[in-house]
A = this chain, B = another copy of it.
Amino acid sequence: MSNAIATHIQLASRPTGWPTQDNFRSEQITYPEPQAGQVRVRNEFISVDPYMRGRMSESRSYVAPYQIGETIAGGAIGRVIESAAEEIPVGSVVLHQHGWSDIVQGEAADFRVVPEIPGLPLSVRLHIMGMTGMTAYVGLTAVAQMKQGDTVFISGAAGAVGTAAGQIAKLLGASRVIGSAGSDEKVALLTEKYGYDAAFNYKDAPVREQLAAAAPEGIDVYFDNVGGDHLEAALDALNTGGRAALCGAISGYNSTERAVGPDNMVNMITRGLELKGFTLGSYLHLAPEFTEKMTGWFSQGQIAYDETIVEGIDHTVDAFLDMMNGANTGKMLVKVS
């Protein structure tokens, strides 16, 4: 065993509005040889996710803000290259939350060994078979209480959660699934690849108008990844007894203005609507149920996915910024070469 030099991407300053390269810095870290109980992991894929923007600010949230000078924590998958922990031998594939780095070393308890399944790329553990897929599943089932025959609207539908949610909704018996996305290419993909019954480009015309046209009978469930005008449009379209799972609000993440709330909250009273915000942390007890369902669907070829892959740890910030700008289709990942 030996020392190792790792590259970590750290928060250099807190972004105001849209983050820039200047808010981050690359640091070389020298690890001594692993102490008893530690492992050293070379990452293969790193996840960049919308929720990370929230942690870059100092405000109260469900997880602590990143500290200046701290490596950006988040999901990653890699392979153990040195081990001083019996339970995790060299060669093991591990998921962890150590985030934006090429090599990371720490206590074995921080790393979760996942089985290598032939034909299953490691990367899907960071999205459709991992937290992203489970977020979509939990949002539709436990949060929004989707029922067979429901009409479902999903915003940010071409993103990692959205592409999963559309397919899961159909597999669970939704009668009609409608999605919104930010380019014509993405819109085409939604109906051609992801089983959406209808989709629109939110940049073409007001969401309210486009959603009303796509759902003339209204919607029963809304899966919100966007917030803002999308949530407002959904509050107009939701039928009596309708339910919304609020998963993300990317439209406002980089705004420095006062967010404009929906002008039609009163619909919630007259139609008995329910809005429920959630983060996956409150639903981890559903992991076995999700894994069983998703493994079944996946093995039967019923799940499509896309990855937008940026190569090289040095391009992690590019990947994050591109993802915030909507440059990805499906899951945005960094492949650590």
Which residues in A have some Cβ–Cβ distance to B below 8 Å?
A: 54, 60-62, 227, 231-232, 240-241, 246-249, 252, 258-279, 282
Contact = CB atoms under 8 A, between A and B. Distances in A.
Given A227-B266, A249-B269, A273-B276, 12 more contacts: A60-B270, A249-B265, A259-B263, A259-B265, A259-B266, A260-B263, A262-B262, A268-B275, A269-B279, A270-B277, A270-B279, A275-B276
B274 A277 contact: yes
Contact of A62 (B246, B252, B272, B277): B272
Contact of A278 (B263, B272, B279): B272
A261 B232 contact: yes
Given A240-B62, A268-B246, A273 B263 contact: no
A129 B251 CA distance: 46
Given A62-B240, A240-B62, A272 B279 contact: yes
B269 A277 contact: yes
A160 to B, nearest CB: 16
Contacts of A263: 258-261
A265 B262 contact: yes
Contact of A276 (B248, B259, B266, B274): B274
Contacts of A247: 269
Given A62-B240, A275-B275, A265 B261 contact: yes
Contact of A277 (B248, B259, B272): B272
Nearest to A276: B274
Task: Tell which of A252, A260, A269 has the most Cβ of chain B within 10 Å.
Answer: A269
Given A271-B62, A274-B274, A274-B276, A265 B240 contact: no
B240 A269 contact: no
B272 A275 contact: no
